[in-house]
Amino acid sequence: MSLDFQGPRGSIEQRWIIYALLRDNVQHHLEGGRQGDGFQALHGLQLALGGRPVSVSARRLHDELLKAQRELPAKPIDQLAVSGRTRAVISLTFPIPEVGETMLVAGSGVVVEPVRGARTLGDVFGFLLDDLLRVTRDAGPDDQVVVTDL
């Protein structure tokens, strides 16, 4: 599964799991394990998974991603977190929970393929942060990011 992100400054395609890990680690490290109001645009993108295209404010997403970029990429890989939703998809366990608590991957028995060889969280999803910041840079008040599950 991959997601197509169309922003005011271009588009990118990325594997679903990379987006999910970014979202999960924002939730774990910046929101205390529960989805809050501070990252509504980032969390809103998950509605595109297996469904219809979703639009969020490019400016709001950019601001949220800047916060994540300041806090997450330098964390060591043993701080990688995963949510119950992501664990359910990885293990093909249905139904997928509406909202998932988060836990650290280290010692959990969860196998997350993109982590092999990674030393920091930035190695796992830093390039997605960079790319999304690029396609949302200088977004105006009406600019949107449209995400489609391919």
Query: DSSP letters of 9-56?
Result: TEEEEEEHHHHHHHHHHIIIIISTTS--STTHHHHHGGGGTTSS-EEE
Q: Rounded distance, CA 24 to CA 100, Å?
A: 9
Task: Flag whether pLDDT at 94 surpasses 90.
Answer: no
Confidence of residue 50 (pLDDT cuts 50, 70, 90): confident
- Mean pLDDT within 51-61: 96
Task: Flag whether pLDDT at 91 surpasses 80.
Answer: no
Mean pLDDT score across all residues of the chain: 92
Using one digit for the tens of pLDDT, what is the confidence trace for 12-24?
999 999 999 999 9
Q: Rounded distance, CA 59 to CA 136, Å?
A: 7
